[in-house]
Structure 1
Amino acid sequence: MRGVIEGFVTIVSVIGLGALLAQLRVLDLTAQGMLSRLAFFVASPALLLTVLAGTDVSQVFSRNLAASAIAVVVVVVVYVAAAALLLHRDLAHTVVGALSTGYVNAGNLGLPIAAYVLGDVALVAPTLLFQLLLFQPVALAALDHATSPGRTSLRRVLGQPFRTPLTVASLIGLAFAVTGAPMPRIVHDPLALVGGMAVPAMLLAYGVSLRLGPKPGADVDTAELGLIVGLKLLMMPLVAWAAGQALGLEGTALLAVTVLAALPTAQNIFVHANRYSRGVVLARDAIFATTVLAIPAMFVITALLA
């Protein structure tokens, strides 16, 4: 338990440093955007590629993947049912709400949590791959259909995952893992060096975002926002834990699938909402609310399961 607490202290300290640097105007939203882009397009792909290349492939395509997928499907189904039967939302708004409910911030916050709390970056790979290869393409296809009926391209849907650096890097890393081919040091060492920037860059950007980013407004349905936050931070970890137990997970594996299910809504959902001009305020406020509450929720989960 001491190691877990130290891991959270490390993460919170760097997030706090980001917030302090924003308060002192050393970093601003422009710097936050730069750090986020650097982490997303360069450092995180490098980190995942090198980590997955040396990972047992059975750890990726595992019961963790199944438990994570079950948790996502359950909360998304509950939200979609509520959106259709109680809230009477249209398809595009419902898709944004579903993404806000089930699509976790596995890239920006999941990697640090896996590294410093769970002790293994590879533990976040099943969640990342499920989201990038299945959940996001299906959701974007539904948004395409809802906002431009009849013009959805199968080629665009199938190609969507491969336009994401994290997906491409993960697949390359998995290729090394599956084949057992060693990565030459002349390739591995520069990638590992660049990948070392990923976690601090993400956490600093996260701290700046908390200090300077958008705050919740009054233009959102508070009942719907409350539903999303409850599903995201309470029901999703509970379902992941129950599914993990049913699948025979225990110890670190069960802790990992439960903690990662309590990650906040991913920030790219706001980008998607803006792109399609649907559910923009809902996505923004869901990201903010779940981001503020996620670390306390994950700490409680870890204290109970570690």
Structure 2
Amino acid sequence: MLELLLALWPLFALIVAGFYLRRWNFPNEAFWPGAERLNYFILFPALLFSNLARAPLDNPALKQLALAVMLGLGIGWLALLLMRRLRGWPAARFGVFTQGTLRFNTYLGLAAVGSLFGQPGLTLAALMLALMVPTVNVLSVWSLTAERGISLRSLLLPIAKNPLILACLGGALINLSGIGLPGGSDRLLSLLAAASLPLGLLCVGAALKPEELGGEVPALAWSSLARLVGMPLLAWVIAQVLGLPAMETTVLVLFFALPTAPTAYVLTRHLGGDSQLMAGAITLQTLLAAASLPIILMLLG
């Protein structure tokens, strides 16, 4: 337990630091949007690209892991569709609950996996992201626009332009080609990647909005329970059924136990969803994850 806490507390310390730095207006308000864009378009893609370019794609557990990821997302999505039918949610709320249940904080996930398992864990996580990011993005956009409809082009174009997806695809292609990362390019990517996770966690903290927690407490509570307890339990059951090895099981459960992504707020506001409810869900889940993640990982051993 002590080893687990030692691995995780620096991550949440960076989130808290980001929250207070923005409240203290340091370095200034204009810094944070620029930092988020730098990380999203350059630093974080460099991390994913370099890990997938060097990943051992012949790992026999990868097919099972991919199946586990898609089963988990698929079952979660079917449960959300059933709840929407029973509760009559409009798209503005359905999109929030979809993102609050299925989306995940990628920065926190990779930082936690790196702290616990090092490079082998990061490689597994990068491979999972290659499946999870496009799937979750499609489901999120569809759920927010379900009532007014959206063309296939409008649905898939943002996915095709997503820098994280492009980085995963490029890294996998480099890996399969056997070219590798010659001429010091591996060192360049490593330097860029090293800056990604600390900056990402600071930006996560800067995006928290505690003032939005006073709204719909029951909705926020059950959404947090579904994401932080229900989804990791589902992932664990799937891992047991498929017989995943220990590290693959832990990485799978960890990613399904992460709080929802701060970028969900931007998408919700852009597509006309309930952005206030989304901001509350992001904040509450991130705060609760400081307690739920160590407990879940401790139970996993």
Equivalent residue letter for 1:51: N
Relative to 1, partners in 2 of residues 1:121 and 1:145: Cα closer, same or farther, differing over 3 Å?
A: same
Identical columns (%): 24
Does 1:215 pair with 2:215? Answer: no
Aligned match for 1:161, one of 156, 159, 162: 159
> Which residue is 2:30 aligned to?
30
Work out the CA distance in 1 between the residues paired with 2:170 and 2:15.
30
Q: Which residue of 2 is the match for residue 205 of structure 1?
A: 203
Q: What residue in structure 2 maps to residue 173 of structure 1?
A: 171
* Mapped contact 1:118–1:256 kept (Cα < 8 A): no
> Could you say if the C-alpha distance between residues 130 and 146 of structure 1 is closer, same or farther in structure 2, counting changes exceeding 3 Å?
farther
2:78 maps to a residue whose letter is: V
Match of 2:115, as an amino acid? Answer: Y
Q: What SS does the aligned partner of 2:207 have? A: helix
Query: Residue in 2 aligned with 1:273?
Result: 268
Separation (CA, whole Å) in 2 of partners of 1:117 and 1:295 = 16
In structure 1, the residue corresponding to 2:180 is in which secondary structure?
Answer: coil
Alpha-carbon separation, structure 2, partners of 1:232 and 1:204: 22
Taking a change above 3 Å as real, the CA distance of residues 126 and 296 of structure 1, as seen in their structure-2 partners, is farther
Following superposition, the deviation at residue 3 of structure 1 comes to 4.4
Cα distance, 1:202–1:83 mapped onto 2, change above 3 Å:
same
Deviates more, 1:44-53 or 1:75-84: 75-84
Deviation at 1:235, TM superposition (A): 0.6
- Does 2:248 correspond to 1:253? yes
Question: CA-atom RMSD, angstroms?
Answer: 2.3
CA deviation after TM superposition for structure 1 residue 290, in Å? 0.7
Would the aligned equivalents of 1:4 and 1:118 in 2 still touch at CA under 8 Å?
A: no
Q: TM-score, normalised by structure 2?
A: 0.89
Report deviation, 1:284. Answer: 1.3
User: Shift of residue 104 of structure 1?
Assistant: 1.0
Give how far 1:300 is off: 0.6
Contact 1:71 1:237 in 2 (8 A): no
The residue aligned with 2:9 is 9
Gaps of 5+ in 2: none
Query: Structure 1's 23 and 136: CA in aligned 2 closer, same or farther, altered over 3 A?
Result: closer
Listed one character per residue, the Cα deviations across residues 130-154 of structure 1 (whole Å, up to 9, x for unaligned) are: 232223124324544533x4xx332
Q: Do 2:227 and 2:257's aligned partners in 1 also have CA atoms closer than 8 Å?
A: yes
Tell me the residue number matched to 1:109.
108
- Structure 1 residues 272 and 55: CA distance shift in structure 2, 3 A: same
**Closer, same or farther: CA 289–193 of 1 in aligned 2, 3 Å:** same
